[in-house]
Structure 1
Amino acid sequence: MNEQTRRLRYFFSGQNFSDGVRITVSILLPAVLLGQWGHFDLGLTISTGAVCVSVTDTPGPATHRRNGMLAALALVGSTALLTSLAAVNPWLLGLQVGILSFLMTMLLVWGARAGAVGTAALLNVVLLLAHPPKLADAPLHAGLLLLGGLWYAGLAMVAYQVRPYRPAQQALGECIHALAQFLSLKAKFYNTATALEEDYRQLVAQQVVVNEKQEAVRDLIFRTRQIVNETTSTGRRLVLTFVETVDLYERITVGYYDYSAVRETFGKTGVLDEVARLIRHVATELDHLGVAIQTNNAHPGTGPVLTAEWDRLQARISALEADPAIEGNTRVLKKILVNLRDIIRRVGNIRSYFDEARAADAPAVSRAAEHTQFVARQEIELRALGQNLTMKSAVFRHSVRMTVACLTAYILAETLWQGQHNYWILMTVTIMLKPGFSLTRQRNTERIIGTLAGGALGGLILWAVPWPEARFAILVVFMVVAYSFQRTVYLVTVVFLTAYLLIMFRFLGLSYLGVAQERIVDTLIGCAIAFSAGYFLFPNWESEQLTDYMAAALRANLAYLRQLADRLAGRPLPPDKYRLLRKDVYVSGANLAAAFQRMLTEPKSKQHRPTETHEFVVLNHILSSNIAALTGTLREAAPAVPPFPPEGRRALTSAAAALSKSLTRINPTADQPTAEFNSTTPIEPASADDKSLLDQLNFLQKVSTDIGKVTEVLAGESVART
């Protein structure tokens, strides 16, 4: 299948589309059924409860999803009663809006899912502002909201019980898809027509995506008891395949070389084009496997074809050794060839996901305790709330910012702009205002563009399609699309959400032109308030937090360098400990890259040394890749330990010292891993392989020194700002 077909299959078999269909059904069905029986208002209230609870149903372990939905149900019911009581007086209602906007935003101290619970409660309050129920009707209204929330939660949990492994398969498929794209980007480094700086920028950006997908799978698999206990063939295969995927990611990242020199030496021979072609073919095969796992359909694979292509590339490289212009200097090409062979082998291991015999041969003992160390724990402790009641807390500052913005929107809607749907202003603020300014700015832009485009699309449908049945069918499609893209492409969500709302209001007998005009005006006002609050009220600039991400990356690489020194010194390292160190390196590097990307979307005046920061991000990636490459070589050579000559020790010591100095410059109070470089192995005359090892260690020293030079500039800039 071609790339477009694979993308479509990924979409229609993915978690986002499944959630989009479920949200659409849970919202639409109560309103349609009760509307047929003459109780549309009751059905609409039930649908509102489903909408609010759906906000908390983000991907993750079933127990976490269930707990989040139950917490949302409790807050939705209580806020409904409180809003009904406060609605007797506009000032009292405004006070409630201010208090709840602060408290619900503070829930972020317990993580993203807790923050989503707060968002669900705020959304319920905002929707109630349109037509607050009378006190006598408040219990019934709250009960209907709870019924809608229970309806959605029940639907979600039943879907999980019917297909318990489906979310994990979908998440694993998406993870492999992201990894295939990462591998495809590596092929660009062998294309002499591309700019290496842009290649690195794209690769680091995709590294962020891969890390996000791996964390999602890790959280989902290792927190699901039914999977990690490995009581079934499917559960074992999921765990084994994910572990193989992480190892494959390591093999892909270790393939770093001096691409400028490689291009200059071999660019005219044409061999680099063949290397890039093979990498793209392997990436395509990996992408096919991702689709197969996500759809749970076996893929025959093209392993023999890839092996044959690798053999041809090997013969091509061997032929170059006789070229006088190359003078036998093909060592780097042979390293690339060996790495590609290992990648192809690991892709074949992932293909064996569909081999039940492989899972049956795996140990049947529980590994739940072993796997839990790979996932971060988020405890719900009340003291965390008190500890964050300070201006030093980003969550507290955001809560204050949200409170001021929501009160401004409420007062403006009640006094100056009293439209039929003026609550849209407050809704826009609660949705648009994010902890970081970069995301707030991006969401505001997408909201404005999407609202205008969605208004035009909805108007076009209503003008061109006069038949109610056809309009309703289009409305359903638009709802599914809107809710399917809400976590990935917000612009698409806004376009189709606006269009389907216009069609829905037309069914209710309202003038769609008037509704479109009001929605556009309300959106512009709400976005202006959210943007201003994000820019002027305790703004959260990424450049002010980059030093923390840099320190975390340096600390992780120092620990990674220590395990390399331990291996060279002949000291064993447990596999799980190594995987934890590797995970820390990948997570810290991805967090740093993501923060850098966010900084680039902020105003130019708020960006500090973007060129040097990008250089630091790239050097950090190169350093971890080369440490991983050396570690992989030593793991393959085990149990034999290669000689560790004094020159190698000096190189490692210098590299560690440079990284330690860099960490001290960035964060003087940071804890620094200590590295011991004494070896118990005898010193022997250096062979060709040992000289190659020494060259790699010297390269680590060079990269570490370059990082030191960059951090010196960045630290000087930081001191100047303070």
Structure 2
Amino acid sequence: MSFSLPRLSRRDLSYFFFSQHFSDGLRTTLAILLPALLGAQWGQFAAGITISTGAVCLSVTDTPGPPNHRRNGHLAALGAVAVVVVLMGLVEGHPVLMGALIAGLSFGLTMLLVWGARAGAVGSAALLAMALTLAHPPSLPDLLPHVGLLLLGGLWYMLLALLQQQALPYRGAQQALGECLHAMAGFLKLKATFYNSATDLDDDYRRLVAQQVVVNEKQEAVRDQIFRSRQIVSESTSAGRRLVLTFTEAVDLYDHITASYYDYAVLRRAFGASGILSEIEALLSRLATDLDYLGSAILVNRAYGTPPPDRTPELARLQTRIAALPPPDADTGLSTLVLKKILVNLRDLARRVSNIQRYFSESLATTSPDPGRVANHGRFVSHQELEFSAFGQNLTLSSSVFRHAVRMSVACVVAFVLAELLWHGQHNYWILMTVTIMLKPGFSLTRERNIQRIIGTLVGGVLGAFILWAVPDGDVRFGFLLVFMVVAYTFQRTQYLVTVIFLTAYLLIMFTFLGQAYLGIIKERIADTVIGCAIAFGTAYLLFPRWESDQLPDLLTATLRANLAYLRQLADRLAGREVPATTYRLLRKDVYVASANLAAAFQRMLSEPRRTRRHPTEIHQFVVLNHILSSNISALTATWQEATDATPTVPPEGRRALVSAQAALSKSLARLAATPTPLPADDPTPALAAEVRADSATATATDRTLPEQLAFLQKVSADLGKVTDLLLK
């Protein structure tokens, strides 16, 4: 049996070395390592370590986002860290008071999550400072100098981050956009597998929905970077216009990728033997590769290099192959018209990929972004208002944040008492630190992180011990330490297992430089990790557990509501009513976000104890049917949105199907929400029903496939209703 490492292409390496995560890893490593090295050089090693500790704490809050949000998060974290350390220093030497303080701080700092993820990161930074302070609690005379050094380290990290932002104001948005295109390319490549008769369609849908979650996260990150940054949306710079235009085109491209839905099982039966589906799959894969190269070029901030491949000859050959196909089989009765529609969609995808390349490569000196899109940019990003009343409103067991704060408080007190009374290791503060890092609001993430922490600590301990055993030279060891630090901090937000492995290894090497025996460090590290993970896991499982199945009804309701609104805009178009482009994009965004949230919660539920899962098969069916429904609505809407002629006349059977589809979704939504769902004042359903009754004989020339498409929407909506009924049993 042979083993070979996966080959990394130049494009894969560029996505790594030019990513936001790698630049963050380099900055964090520099911010932490430099003060300690300078302190050792100047005979002030303890002071240097304290400054580095301040940088470590502040790095927790440095999540991607607009410059003003990052700055405010840094300042809030500096204040929180200072207050926590002062309070810890004041009760030093009084174990009972220290335990009470830890209980209060862990509860209050965790409750900051009510104001959003960045506020929660501020609380995490202060919790980390609380745990690290237990390592070497400062005496009362040394308290203020100690706090000053911590603040100096935080200010040092903040200075590095702000200088990078000032020197490269568009870099974060470019990195987010490049990674978004990379995720979209992965989504398109997965769409290609649906044309492969050898794959299982259920597996294809499962992977596609999982990738949809990733794409949604990346798109939200780009929106946050672009539409919250005044420098990008307000200033008339070429770089800003490029970013806005490219992202706008990328979102529309994703809409068309999602909209390209067909009955793949029927397609495989009808055309699998002809080989035409393999050619479609290959062409889609090549378009995905083209998009991936564009994402890499944007990430690296360079021109595409050579012009992107011209897919016109391939599209022409595919058109010839479709035209040469024999008449449809009598068993399937499927016309080659569906293949011609696929060909039209492929041409559109190729054109839009080319547009993205053009937008990013041209100077755009006179091109301006869509005024409506930019003027309404604030409507495309979520807003978290800092209302102090939210804290009090969440002091109830019905609040998931409150339950998490109670769990954190109890777990931290147990960890502190256990470390003080039963475990007297030199680094027993690792137990408390492990608890604060491992305990998450949801059980599934807590479980996943605990497993990764234990495995990563074991593997990292072996790796660090091997380096220390095999490499006696101190300079070479320091080189490994440097590399391990960069890797650990690069993957801390994406691959936690990798972070734990290299973090453990570099800590072992660091403690060896401090003169400590690494074997003893390994044993204590593993023991403290196991104890801390056991406390976090037990608390998450036993104390007010938050199961994903409890959250799913709200997510199912939100998804149905978004799809119903999306279907109503389609009905508006068919009734001849104008739907503004911004309104359509907002409705489309709501559908994608709601669908991604539901899919992510479903994935998390599958990692929870089997007894807590509710209707996993039915929820999977709901997720797939929801994807099919929104894809078909997008397909119909996109076709008419870009048409130059008038909206096609809808035959009576099409109108009836559309009315029935809306009625089915409304009924399912009302049952799922357990409350009546009133129709809005401008709801098109009554008008369409009246039109069906009044002029059912007047519809003549129209697209012959339109009734079939609307009937399919009716069928999928009815199937969603049946699945909803099963979920309510």
C-alpha contact 1:56 1:68 (8 A) present in aligned 2:
yes
1:401 aligned partner:
407
Tell me the secondary structure at the aligned position of residue 669 of structure 1. Answer: coil
Q: Please say if 1:70 is aligned against 2:83.
A: no
C-alpha contact 1:413 1:425 (8 A) present in aligned 2:
yes
Please point out which of 643, 652, 655 is paired with 2:649: 643
C-alpha contact 2:629 2:713 (8 A) present in aligned 1:
yes
Q: Which amino acid aligns with 2:49?
A: L
Q: Which amino acid aligns with 2:658?
A: L
Q: Which amino acid aligns with 1:676?
A: P
**1:603-614 to 2 correspondences below 5 Å:** 603-614=609-620
1:45 aligned partner:
50
**TM-score w.r.t. length of structure 2:** 0.96
**1:93-242 to 2 correspondences below 5 Å:** 93-242=98-247
Please point out which of 244, 248, 264 is paired with 1:243: 248
Q: In 2 relative to 1, CA 604–301 (structure 1 residues): closer, same or farther, beyond 3 Å? A: farther
Tell me the secondary structure at the aligned position of residue 538 of structure 1. Answer: coil
Give the number of aligned pairs: 715
Please point out which of 493, 497, 504 is paired with 1:491: 497
Distance 2:429 2:143 in 1: 19
Give CA-to-partner distance per residue, 1:139-162, whole Å, 9 cap, x none: 000000000000000000000000
Tell me the secondary structure at the aligned position of residue 142 of structure 2. Answer: helix
C-alpha contact 2:464 2:509 (8 A) present in aligned 1:
yes
Tell me the secondary structure at the aligned position of residue 320 of structure 1. Answer: coil
Q: Which amino acid aligns with 1:379?
A: E
Tell me the secondary structure at the aligned position of residue 373 of structure 1. Answer: helix
2:4 aligned partner:
none
2:541 aligned partner:
535
Tell me the secondary structure at the aligned position of residue 190 of structure 1. Answer: coil
Q: Please say if 1:634 is aligned against 2:640.
A: yes
C-alpha contact 2:373 2:582 (8 A) present in aligned 1:
no
Please point out which of 676, 689, 711 is paired with 2:684: 676
Q: Which amino acid aligns with 2:404?
A: H
For structure 1, which segment, 484-493 or 346-355, has the greater mean C-alpha deviation from structure 2 after superposition? Answer: 346-355
Please point out which of 12, 25, 33 is paired with 2:30: 25
C-alpha contact 1:440 1:530 (8 A) present in aligned 2:
yes
Please point out which of 92, 101, 124 is paired with 2:97: 92
Please point out which of 616, 621, 631 is paired with 1:615: 621
Deviation at 1:303, TM superposition (A): 4.5
C-alpha contact 1:228 1:367 (8 A) present in aligned 2:
no
**1:253-264 to 2 correspondences below 5 Å:** 253-264=258-269
C-alpha contact 1:405 1:530 (8 A) present in aligned 2:
yes
Give CA-to-partner distance per residue, 1:200-228, whole Å, 9 cap, x none: 00000000000000000001100000001
Distance 1:560 1:396 in 2: 34
Distance 1:172 1:366 in 2: 21
Distance 1:590 1:198 in 2: 17
Q: In 2 relative to 1, CA 654–365 (structure 1 residues): closer, same or farther, beyond 3 Å? A: closer
**1:642-721 to 2 correspondences below 5 Å:** 642-669=648-675, 671=677, 673-674=679-680, 675-677=683-685, 678=687, 689-716=702-729
Please point out which of 423, 426, 429 is paired with 1:420: 426
Distance 2:642 2:325 in 1: 27
Distance 2:659 2:436 in 1: 52
Tell me the secondary structure at the aligned position of residue 690 of structure 1. Answer: coil
C-alpha contact 2:270 2:334 (8 A) present in aligned 1:
no
Deviation at 1:3, TM superposition (A): 6.1
Distance 2:585 2:88 in 1: 50
C-alpha contact 2:241 2:368 (8 A) present in aligned 1:
yes
Please point out which of 256, 271, 277 is paired with 1:266: 271
Give CA-to-partner distance per residue, 1:431-476, whole Å, 9 cap, x none: 0000000000000000000000000000000000000000001100
Deviation at 1:632, TM superposition (A): 0.9
Distance 2:722 2:284 in 1: 34
Deviation at 1:367, TM superposition (A): 6.7
Give CA-to-partner distance per residue, 1:397-435, whole Å, 9 cap, x none: 000010000000000000000100000000000000000
Tell me the secondary structure at the aligned position of residue 366 of structure 2. Answer: helix
Please point out which of 302, 310, 318 is paired with 1:313: 318
C-alpha contact 2:657 2:711 (8 A) present in aligned 1:
yes
Q: Please say if 1:382 is aligned against 2:381.
A: no
C-alpha contact 1:230 1:366 (8 A) present in aligned 2:
no
1:476 aligned partner:
482
C-alpha contact 2:464 2:508 (8 A) present in aligned 1:
yes
Distance 2:218 2:236 in 1: 25
Deviation at 1:356, TM superposition (A): 3.4
Q: Which amino acid aligns with 1:690?
A: D
Deviation at 1:684, TM superposition (A): 7.0
Tell me the secondary structure at the aligned position of residue 669 of structure 2. Answer: helix
C-alpha contact 2:449 2:496 (8 A) present in aligned 1:
yes
Deviation at 1:661, TM superposition (A): 1.4
Deviation at 1:309, TM superposition (A): 1.1
Give CA-to-partner distance per residue, 1:107-147, whole Å, 9 cap, x none: 00000110000000010010000110000000000000000
Deviation at 1:501, TM superposition (A): 0.2
Q: Please say if 1:10 is aligned against 2:11.
A: no
Deviation at 1:662, TM superposition (A): 1.1
Distance 2:464 2:496 in 1: 18
Q: In 2 relative to 1, CA 22–193 (structure 1 residues): closer, same or farther, beyond 3 Å? A: same
**1:349-364 to 2 correspondences below 5 Å:** 349-358=355-364, 360-362=366-368
CA RMSD of aligned residues (A): 1.7
C-alpha contact 1:229 1:366 (8 A) present in aligned 2:
no
Please point out which of 64, 87, 95 is paired with 1:59: 64
Distance 1:475 1:8 in 2: 22
Deviation at 1:230, TM superposition (A): 4.0
**TM-score w.r.t. length of structure 1:** 0.97
Deviation at 1:182, TM superposition (A): 0.2
2:449 aligned partner:
443
1:720 aligned partner:
none
Q: In 2 relative to 1, CA 365–614 (structure 1 residues): closer, same or farther, beyond 3 Å? A: closer
Give CA-to-partner distance per residue, 1:670-695, whole Å, 9 cap, x none: 75554314258976765674331111
For structure 1, which segment, 536-545 or 660-669, has the greater mean C-alpha deviation from structure 2 after superposition? Answer: 660-669
1:553 aligned partner:
559
Deviation at 1:328, TM superposition (A): 8.0
Distance 1:211 1:234 in 2: 24
Distance 1:328 1:606 in 2: 44
Q: Unaligned regions of 5+ residues in structure 2, if any?
A: 1-6
